[in-house]
Amino acid sequence: MLNLAGASYDYGNVLFAVLQECEHNRRALLPNEAAGRLQGIARAKLAEIRESYTECGGTDTYWEQLEREVLETTLPQYVPAAVEQNRLEKNNYDLWRQGEPVARMAFGLLGLLIGALIIAIPWIPIFEDVFAFALAAMGFLYPEIKKTVFDYRHARLLNRLIVQAEKYQKDQRLHYVSEARLAEELGAVGKAPATVRDKKAEPGPQPRERDRAS
């Protein structure tokens, strides 16, 4: 869990980039291929990020753990939700008559009727007639309300997955990291610099006797 390549390669930041790429392409996917394509998009984005991570001196051990966390823990939670969100968006959030003006008027009239019945019931302490008109307005705006609720639910899932990844990495840094494993990861990072230092430390060719005399 030792990340020496910089905060850009922390779990949360990498996962944000992966989910952003998936969300960018999600709406163009067909329902029967969305799950498989999202997995492929995530793997391709991880491979792209890994190239930059390796150039920054990152270790294979850390990246393998990060990749496993993204592919085996996060994606199984994200992909079904993304497929369902895709279905809702393509079907206008399962609205009756796709939320067209006739449907809006029907929702508004239904809200007005429900509000009038609630006001008419004597044991419910609502006496303001404006309550019925408020329900009518909510019925007319029901398509936007439903869309907002489902979009917010999906966005909240994405944020929760990123927060969970950040918390998991933070907890792993604090607990159950043995000195041997830490030394192993540090050693993997320090191999290349050590080779360079060894080359610099090698003695150069000794001057010949004639050069010394001169």
The three-state secondary structure class of 29 is coil
User: What is the pLDDT at residue 214?
Assistant: 42
Cα separation, 38 vs 120, whole angstroms: 53
User: What is the pLDDT at residue 99?
Assistant: 78
User: What is the pLDDT at residue 134?
Assistant: 87
Question: Mean pLDDT of residues grouped by 10 in the chain (214 residues)?
Answer: 75 95 94 93 96 87 91 96 94 86 90 83 70 87 94 97 92 61 58 41 48 45
Are 1 and 63 spatial neighbours (Cβ–Cβ below 8 Å)?
Answer: no
Q: Which residues contact 114 (CB under 8 A, 6 or more apart)?
A: 132, 135
If phi > 0 it is left, if psi is from -120 to 50 it is alpha, else beta; for residue 7 that is alpha
User: What is the pLDDT at residue 115?
Assistant: 82
Are 19 and 160 spatial neighbours (Cβ–Cβ below 8 Å)?
Answer: no
According to DSSP, residue 9 is labeled G
The one-letter code for the residue type at 162 is I
User: What is the pLDDT at residue 192?
Assistant: 43
What is each CA distance from 122 to 40, 47, 118, 125, 133, in whole angstroms? 60, 66, 8, 7, 19
User: What is the pLDDT at residue 176?
Assistant: 54
User: What is the pLDDT at residue 7?
Assistant: 83
User: What is the pLDDT at residue 213?
Assistant: 45
Domain boundaries, the chain: 1-90+149-183, 94-140
Cα separation, 142 vs 150, whole angstroms: 12
User: What is the pLDDT at residue 201?
Assistant: 44
H/E element, 138: helix 130-140
Cα separation, 63 vs 49, whole angstroms: 10
